[in-house]
Amino acid sequence: MQTLEQIKDRIAAALPGARLAVIANASPAGQPSLLLDHEHALEAARFLRDAPELRFDYASNATGVDWPERTVKERVKVKKMIDGVEKETEELAERKIPGCLEAVYHLYSMELGHGPLIIRLRTGNRTDRVTLPSLTPVWRSCEFQEREIFDLFGIVFEGHPDLRRILMWDGFEDHPMRKDYAPAASGEAKA
């Protein structure tokens, strides 16, 4: 299998203007993933499936991830006047990272026997910009899994053939896998 950087470069060459990024993974597995932009996600998925040397013909898993807004502290270099002399020093600075939701797909090539390739799609935020393109038209195996992500995380998949709740009842008003989900108190019933 080609490296993730090589796959990224191949997609970029085939789809000019596509915004792609390799996302590092700090977990023990250390497996990086490829972030696709909304506008080119469906075309990139078709490329990954149809390119003769890639042939990612099977999406084994799709899941959601909730990333609430968070603040990270970073060391930054700044220039300061110290005793009348400009010197470079390090300071701690805080940076806010806006929240978003992600759909994460694990792809394999059954034909060529390689994988997994992990791709990600990110929403604009966690409130009103939660729409992503459905990859079900490319990999039929995503249909129920995208429904589960919709139900539990609230990501709306444009172009999905049957986007409706799969685990929670129709009147349920929340998304129980969101990190800010608060279940009703014992004895209270939520809609």
In a domain, 182, yes or no: no
For residues 134-141, average pLDDT: 98
The string of pLDDT tens digits covering residues 59-69 is 999 999 999 99
In a domain, 88, yes or no: no
Q: Please give the model's pTM, rounded to 2 decimal places.
A: 0.87
Taking 80 as the threshold, does the pLDDT of residue 185 lie above it? no
CB atoms within 10 A of CB 122: 20
The distance from CA 67 to its chain's CA centroid, rounded to whole angstroms, is: 10
pLDDT at 34: 98
In a domain, 32, yes or no: yes
- Looking up residue 120, the CATH number of its domain turns out to be 3.30.460.80
The string of pLDDT tens digits covering residues 89-103 is 888 889 999 999 999
CB atoms within 10 A of CB 185: 7
Q: State how many domains the chain has.
A: 1
Containing structural domain, residue 47: 4-67+100-158
In a domain, 136, yes or no: yes
| Cα angle: 159, vertex 38, 19; to 5 degrees | 155
